Amino acid sequence: QVQLVESGGGLVQTGGSLRLSCAASRSILSINKMGWYRQAPGKQRELVADIWSGGGINYADSVKGRFTISRDNAKNLVYLQMNSLKPEDTAVYYCNALVIPNGFWGQGTQVTVSS
């Protein structure tokens, strides 16, 4: 089992920045993959970025060059630095932990980008 708690969401203007944090209840070194997903109203949940325990990182094409995923192994935290935010980034952002074969989700944090 993994409990995840996200924080850092909020309201920001176009072009602004936010940093999301995800706190895990156990060592993230024991988790196969940590990721950030988002879900906008009326849309399916989609991958934003993920980071494997071995260090491999993936980004959605829509956020490449603007978002950065990182982790602090000592604090069991995973971050999502979001720069140059656009209105289309507005969504609920969820943290995900994959402990093969099970996935765990946080409660989500709202990010709203005003135009």
Q: What is the pLDDT of residues 63-81, one digit of tens each?
A: 999 999 999 999 999 999 9
Q: What is the pLDDT of residues 32-66, one digit of tens each?
A: 999 999 999 999 999 999 999 988 999 999 999 99
The 3-state secondary structure of 29-77 reads: HHCCEEEEEEECCCCCCEEEEEEECCCCEEECHHHCCCEEEEEECCCCE
Tell me which residue of 58, 51, 60 sits closest to 97, measured CA to CA.
51
